[in-house]
Structure 1
Amino acid sequence: YPDRARMLAISVFGTCCNIITFQSTNGPYNPVDMISGEPGDSNDRTDITILHNGSCEEDTSGSGQGAPVCVQRTIAREIKQLEKLAKGRYGTVYKGEYKTQFVAVKKFHTKEEDSWKREVELYNTQSLAHTNILRFIAADNRDNGIATELWLVTDYHEYGSLFDFLTTHTLTEEMCINMAFSIVSGLHHLHQEIDGLVTKKRTIAHRDIKSKNILVTKDFQCCIADLGSVESELTPSAVAQMSTVGTVRYVAPEFLKLEVQNELFNPFMDLTKADIYSTALVLWELLNRTVGFFGADQDSLPEYQQPYDGMVQSEPTLPDMKVIVVDQRQRPPIPVILSPSSVNRLDVLVGIVTECWTEKPATRLKALRIKKDILPLLTVNDPLQSNR
């Protein structure tokens, strides 16, 4: 039967060609592609995970609807939970032990599933690997018998947040400049758009920059954490949520006006400019705990203060902040006279801060410009010189 054999061979060849065409058109497998349901479909509960050791099980959404998804079933069972580290808007962070290393486990509230999805998807789809952005290890979910816990596993940093560190430590001039440079380097990576042949990344605004969302590493650099509020520029969701995102004390002037005066949001406003304002307040926090900022004597340094302490109540409202920041145009205090031994470098940093917390977003410096301005302040032997 030569004709039948010939026809079978042609059929097999055609099927192979279709498979090759499908693979080249759709690209390699990506776990994020397995998110089921349409955006905004509250009936579909889906799980986004990173595959670990190549093993997974199929599961369906909690509602019984939606396509099966590949769910990691290993890492949550292998992590030994230790003490609680912090509690925030989206969940609670624990110290954990995974095999031979300590990790941080952020457990999201079930109602904050969208934030968990957003953060995991960003780590999976965007090129966020950077020394000054908290390193992502894995994501998982776990049933504790009462509810489903949504886990985000990251590097653990024993010094904790910059807020915690500044509360108990003072800084040398060197430490202050190094920390400032590392923060701005991480922020620049978030804000930077990359459109390479291999690496692609859209511009990302953090939207909740504050000292509690920045961690201190063992070599006294900083890394930016808590990406649950991040947004790319000019998206409809960013417009809709702008009045509810961010920590009140760090909210930029333009958004204080938006909330209190009910002004129409300008959809062309660059969200990254609000990050720059918030970063200026963090840099002020660094300066305020640096020897030389108030004089040469370490004993003259005040206790740690949050931005606008003494100007507003401990838990200020948006109207409170608007009065101080917009109506009165006040900013955290900067001493008139700096130590002669420090005036050169710290004065440059002060100048950067004042250019970044201006009322008009368009006049604020960009992250790349700040990074370039701080770079010459680093010493020649500083390891951060390699992080250009």
Structure 2
Amino acid sequence: MAIRFEGEDDEYKSITCYCEGHCPSGEQYGTCQTRPGGRCFTSVEIKYFDDGTSETVLSYGCLPPNGMAQFQCRGKMLSALQNKIMKCCDQYDHCNKHLLPVLQNHNDSSNNYWDGMTFKVLAGSLTISFVVLIVVLLTMYIKYKKKEKNLQQAGPEEPNRTIKIPNNLVENNIVDISKDFTQQNKIDERSNSKSTLDNSTSGLVQRTVSKQIQMDLLIASGKYSEVWRGKWRDENVSVKIYPQKYEHKWLWETEIYESVLMRHENILGYIAADIIGAGLTTQMYIITQYHELGTLHNYLKKHPLNVKQLVKLVQSLSRGLSYLHIEVFGCKGKPSIAHNNINSKTILVKRDKECCIGDFTKAVKFISTQNKLEAPIDIYNCEPRYLAPEILDRNFDQRNFECYKMSDVYSFALLMWEMLNRCEFQGTIQKTKYKWPYEDKIELGEQNWSKVLDVVKQERPEVKEEWFNEPLLKVIAKLLLECWNMNPWARHTILRIKKTLLKLECDDL
């Protein structure tokens, strides 16, 4: 099918054109003869030079009868992209001599560049982006309204749980009841997932870990939980079991264990947490590493210490507590954690005779970048003989995290005394007997804070003179005297204590 252009006759013919710059014989001026169907042309081109000048070049000649050449006569984009424009004719001989194509300056034509296809593409892109944004916003809004509606529907059926607070703590302003304390959402999340595992073990531990454990020995039983020894994958593990009514304690301790970067050689190794139905009740498990030597309390009752063992125990305990207190910054940093229940029954002794810290039911955590402090409600429902004097005296700023750390240091000093009191060395102290701190003054199981405070205000556990005759024991004895000071701000930080203890050198520790 032939293409007919403007000005063509019904029958193709050859015409004579004026030529200049494009003459067939190479002459400057003259004429040229087109082939049948060819056309005459006149073109204007602006040439730009490096020095910033330009020159307008006018050309005349003949075009062959092919589609591409004829298309150039209609190519309007030539003026914008190549600084050139061409007009054609075939009505009569030398018709191109009278053609006057107009070429705008390049700078002027650039203003029209956005006209046409480029403008259409840009407008289409902006329109599509705007539509996508509207769709995304509508989707987010619909999901938000749906979630809000579900929460409103669940409200009457699942009311928030309230946790009872001991009257003495409320009356003495130890617990701030002005803040709403609702753990239902967190408990529901934990229940829905059935098992929540530490990041480092989530790929190795199945979510039904509780069903894989075989209990074989009850280790300890307390007011809120029991601790069992169990078999899991042919290895002994420790299983702390909470009844359903104490699920808020299970939730809080699990949350502490699952804090980022909580792994440390002197912190009890966490494996998993799980919920399991036991008949008509529900039990909540916290599975940790098992240490056959048991708690520091039981170990000291059965075994006296020599100087090397004492130094190793206090050094390892200071490393663990120091790591708890320190805050690790980063995208997924570790919060600063105060244990808040340091005593010889919450410390375990590992096979290598080092300590590791467990039982985080009373722990307090603090994120300095958010100025956020979190603590359990029944924070001081624990052994009062280890509580710092400022807590017993109700002169404690519960919103200041440094106060919790100084309280840990006081309890740490009592632990150093327990270990020192069980240390034997030849020629000076032999046949020691285990004693609780303040055992002669405070009855076991005493829960009256006023009675404990009266004792603490007057005296401290006995510091033996023989301890100052042995260089290593002297350093530890001086430390504990400085760390159980009545004034919390006069006590050393645990980092300072750790550095002092790590300077102690004992052969073959």
**TM-score grouping bracket, smaller chain normalisation:** 0.7 to 0.9
> Which residue of 2 is the match for residue 231 of structure 1?
364
> Which residue of 1 is the match for residue 455 of structure 2?
324
Q: Deviations over 1:346-376 (max 9, x none)?
A: 0000001111100010011111100100111
- The CA deviation at 1:94 is 0.1
CA distance in structure 2 between the partners assigned to 1:86 and 1:229 by the alignment = 18
- The CA deviation at 1:138 is 0.5
Greater alpha carbon shift after TM alignment, 271-280 vs 43-52: 43-52
Q: Supply the AA of the counterpart residue of 2:384.
A: V
> Which residue of 1 is the match for residue 283 of structure 2?
149
> Which residue of 1 is the match for residue 345 of structure 2?
212
Structure with higher Rg: it is 2
Greater alpha carbon shift after TM alignment, 107-116 vs 369-378: 107-116
Alignment length (residue pairs):
329
> Which residue of 2 is the match for residue 25 of structure 1?
none
CA distance in structure 2 between the partners assigned to 1:80 and 1:182 by the alignment = 31
1:301 to 431, 438, 461: 431
Unmatched tracts of structure 1, length 5 or more: 1-5, 23-35, 57-71, 383-388
Matched, 1:277 2:416: no
Asked whether the equivalents of residues 178 and 378 of structure 1 are also in contact (C-alpha less than 8 Å), the reply is no
CA distance in structure 2 between the partners assigned to 1:309 and 1:156 by the alignment = 29
CA distance in structure 2 between the partners assigned to 1:106 and 1:239 by the alignment = 18
Asked whether the equivalents of residues 136 and 153 of structure 1 are also in contact (C-alpha less than 8 Å), the reply is yes
Q: Supply the AA of the counterpart residue of 2:273.
A: A
Matched, 1:250 2:392: no
CA distance in structure 2 between the partners assigned to 1:218 and 1:55 by the alignment = 24
Residue pairs, 1:1-388, within 5 angstroms: 40-41=181-182, 45-48=187-190, 49-50=195-196, 73-196=207-330, 200-233=333-366, 238=375, 241-242=378-379, 244-258=380-394, 265=397, 267-268=399-400, 270-292=403-425, 296=427, 300-316=430-446, 317-326=448-457, 328=458, 330-338=459-467, 340=469, 343-379=470-506, 381-382=508-509
- The CA deviation at 1:297 is 5.6
CA distance in structure 2 between the partners assigned to 1:196 and 1:301 by the alignment = 50
- The CA deviation at 1:270 is 1.9
Greater alpha carbon shift after TM alignment, 42-51 vs 365-374: 42-51
- The CA deviation at 1:339 is 7.6
Asked whether the equivalents of residues 214 and 224 of structure 1 are also in contact (C-alpha less than 8 Å), the reply is yes
CA distance in structure 2 between the partners assigned to 1:277 and 1:53 by the alignment = 36
CA distance in structure 1 between the partners assigned to 2:340 and 2:262 by the alignment = 16
Q: Identity rate of aligned residues, in percent?
A: 31
> Which residue of 2 is the match for residue 66 of structure 1?
none
Provide the secondary structure at the position in 2 that maps to 1:270. helix
CA distance in structure 1 between the partners assigned to 2:421 and 2:373 by the alignment = 38
Asked whether the equivalents of residues 296 and 344 of structure 2 are also in contact (C-alpha less than 8 Å), the reply is yes
- The CA deviation at 1:225 is 0.3
Structure 1's 53 and 205: CA in aligned 2 closer, same or farther, altered over 3 A? closer
- The CA deviation at 1:213 is 0.2
CA distance in structure 2 between the partners assigned to 1:266 and 1:147 by the alignment = 35
Q: Deviations over 1:266-286 (max 9, x none)?
A: 633521100100011011110
> Which residue of 2 is the match for residue 63 of structure 1?
none
Q: Deviations over 1:308-338 (max 9, x none)?
A: 0111222222111111002x1x111011233
Report the TM-score, using the length of structure 1 for normalisation.
0.77
Q: Supply the AA of the counterpart residue of 1:125.
A: S
Asked whether the equivalents of residues 79 and 97 of structure 1 are also in contact (C-alpha less than 8 Å), the reply is yes
Asked whether the equivalents of residues 183 and 248 of structure 2 are also in contact (C-alpha less than 8 Å), the reply is no
The alignment's C-alpha RMSD in Å is 3.1
- Choose between structure 1 and 2 for higher RCO, CA contacts under 8 A separated by at least 6 residues: 1
Provide the secondary structure at the position in 2 that maps to 1:338. helix
> Which residue of 2 is the match for residue 30 of structure 1?
none
Q: Supply the AA of the counterpart residue of 2:455.
A: I
CA distance in structure 2 between the partners assigned to 1:55 and 1:85 by the alignment = 26
Asked whether the equivalents of residues 81 and 97 of structure 1 are also in contact (C-alpha less than 8 Å), the reply is yes
CA distance in structure 2 between the partners assigned to 1:216 and 1:130 by the alignment = 14
CA distance in structure 1 between the partners assigned to 2:159 and 2:353 by the alignment = 43
Report the TM-score, using the length of structure 2 for normalisation.
0.59
Provide the secondary structure at the position in 2 that maps to 1:107. strand
Unmatched tracts of structure 2, length 5 or more: 1-123, 141-157, 161-179
Q: Deviations over 1:62-115 (max 9, x none)?
A: xxxxxxxxxx75211110101100123430000000012100000013222112
Structure 1's 173 and 303: CA in aligned 2 closer, same or farther, altered over 3 A? same
